[in-house]
Structure 1
Amino acid sequence: MKRLLCCIMALTMIGSATAFAAEPVDNSAIAEKALSEVTALYEDLYTITNAEAEVQNSTYDDMGNIIVDVVVSFDRTLKATCAEDMPYIQGLEIALTELTDPDEISAASAYIDAKKADLEDNYIGVAQDTYIELQVTVPIATARSNAAQAIGIDNIEYVGMNENVPAKELAPDSNQAMMESGQAAILNITERMATPSTRASTINSVIKNYDRVRARDYARDWSCTNGSLYDHATCHNPEYTFYASNDCTNFVSQCLVYGGLPTDSKWKPYTEPWKTTGNAGNGIRQYLTNNGLFFHSTNEKEAFAGSIINWLNSDGTNAGHVGLVDQNDTATMTFCAHTRCRRSCPWTGEKVDFYIPYWDSYEGDWTK
């Protein structure tokens, strides 16, 4: 009898588990909930419009949790009505009032004016495209028919270029943090002025041919939102070779050429500087810096559209991946990249640094 009861209990448990696993899962509802959770992160600073979510895949992990891959897209329009409403600009102007040296005041004022003009012309009142690849985890204990209601921001990860990051890190910095970044930027300017200028000997005037807005437009035209590692017609300019699983630098080089940076015997299609990041010492990073075209920076606020974003490993070494910054309104920065393919995707969480052109074609002035 005891043996019979054990068998009945075991069969009952198996039947219950099977029925639980067989409960329908509304992946579309899960995607919409993920979209709602992520857009809420931006609503303090932006008006959100044209929000959509698309399920890419659904599977189970080793624990039996449901994993749903989702791409969300929406437009962000700053609620600020003028550049002076932005906390970063406010921080810049606070720091400016504390300067006394005329040369420092002049340099800081020029930087502030350039930032304001960029914001007013390209971001204030302008809807910014945003595409984000997410991974949603629905715990095994959650009733499948109620999965969308049960998940929150802690169940959602941003699919980064090197690793997944909690989606809540997509939220822009606090107003106070952005103001402090602005103040720090002015300090950086004054510190640079304390160092003897080497522009004449280190900066290559060829950089004045580089139109960063044209480079940005090319990046948007030839990038996609599906995270693909392989060739796909909507993302690959057929005039260039596509390097499956390794096309990131080739793509960035194309952007720079379209922006007007001339090729030469060392940097042209098929060469190492054209198609590699430079982990072996002979890539695009070394070419641009050694030739006085771009400078290295760790400050994301300096990285305007047309700059290069470079991913790092957790120990600070180069990860071998680059993209092109296509938006930076001082609160949110987005980039375009190949392998994995991204278009106007926010940067967050992952360690990166930047390579910035010495000449800002939009403002018609030197950046450093």
Structure 2
Amino acid sequence: MYDREAAVRYANEWWNGRNPAFPSFDVDCTNFISQCLLAGGAPMHGYPHRERGWWLQSGTWSFSWSVSHSLRWYLATSKKGLTATQVSSAEQLGLGDVISYDFEGDGRFDHTTIVTAKVGSVPYVNAHTFDAQHRLWDYKDSYMFSPNAKYVFFKINDEFS
């Protein structure tokens, strides 16, 4: 069972720091989101194949653990362990859900966040790389944003297989 509150607690504890129990990257957004999902009880699988599954083990990790584009496709296609359902709008997301960002609109996803608060139906997110807490989900105020930006919204499934 996905513990959304635990995922959000972790995101709020570590949004502006790096947990020494995990690797840290210059581009750390997806690694951070993976840690949040793990804190919420998401099960890892696929080791030792870096291109399959979602995992961190023995000093190495899957691409989906640490690369935005890879996590986006993992969440869209996974049928085992950590799974998600793609929804059409940010307003459909709840706490602990994930947003993937393609800032250029070129099909390559370059950022990942986790929903940590909602004001009405509007989600606010936490992120790493440029550390943020309770930032408006659309990033329209970011230098990374372009009018071509595309988003994919994932509701993390509460039950794991």
**One-letter amino acid of the counterpart of residue 127, structure 2:** A
Deviation, 1:249, is 0.8
Secondary structure of the corresponding residue to residue 241 of structure 1: coil
1:337 counterpart = 2:136: no
Q: CA shift at 1:238, angstroms? A: 0.5
Q: Where do residues 141-290 of structure 1 align in structure 2 (5 Å cutoff)?
A: 209-224=1-16, 235-244=17-26, 246-265=27-46, 266-269=53-56, 270-278=61-69, 283-290=70-77
Q: CA deviation at 1:210?
A: 1.2
Structure 2: which 5+ residue stretches go unaligned?
A: 47-52
1:294 aligns with 2:84: yes
Richer in helix (by share): 1
State the superposition RMSD in angstroms. Answer: 1.9
Deviations 1:316-366 (A, max 9, x none): 634411011111233432100000111111224354231112338xxxxxx
% identical aligned pairs = 26
Alpha-carbon spacing, 1:220–1:256, altered in 2? closer, same or farther (3 Å): same
Residues matched between the structures, number: 137
2:43 & 2:78 partners in 1: Cα distance? 12
SS at match of 1:359: coil
Q: Is 2:109 aligned against 1:328?
A: no
Q: Which amino acid aligns with 1:300?
A: A
Call closer, same or farther: CA 1:217–1:346 in 2, change over 3 Å: same
Scaled by the length of structure 2, what TM-score is found?
0.76
Amino acid corresponding to residue 110 of structure 2 in structure 1: G
SS in 2 for 1:220: helix
Give runs of aligned pairs for residues 64-75 of structure 1, distance below 5 A.
none
Letter in 1 for 2:30: T
Task: Please point out which of 142, 152, 160 is paired with 1:353.
Answer: 152
Do the aligned residues in 2 keep the contact of 1:273 with 1:284 (CA within 8 Å)?
Answer: yes
Question: CA contact under 8 A between 2:2 and 2:157: conserved in structure 1?
Answer: no
Counterpart-to-counterpart distance in 1, 2:9 and 2:87: 23
Larger radius of gyration: 1
For 1:286 and 1:309, locate their aligned partners in 2 and report how far apart those are by CA, in whole Å: 12
Tell me how far apart the structure 2 counterparts of residues 215 and 306 of structure 1 sit (CA, whole Å): 6
Letter in 2 for 1:219: A
What residue in structure 1 maps to residue 50 of structure 2? Answer: none
3-state DSSP class of the match of 2:68? coil
Q: Which amino acid aligns with 1:358?
A: N
User: Partner letter of residue 286 of structure 1?
Assistant: W
SS in 2 for 1:267: coil
- Equivalent residues of 2:90, 2:122 under 8 A apart: no
Matches of 2:104 and 2:76, distance apart in 1:
23
CA distance, structure 2, for counterparts of residue 258 and residue 273 of structure 1: 16
**Conservation of the 8 A alpha-carbon contact between 1:250 and 1:275:** yes
Segments of structure 1 that go 5 or more residues without pairing to the other structure are 1-208, 225-234, 361-368
Residue aligning to 1:134: none
Contact residue 303 and residue 328 of structure 1 kept, 8 A: no
Question: Which letter does structure 2 place at the counterpart of 1:260?
Answer: G
Q: Which has the higher contact order (CA 8 A, sep 6+)?
A: 2
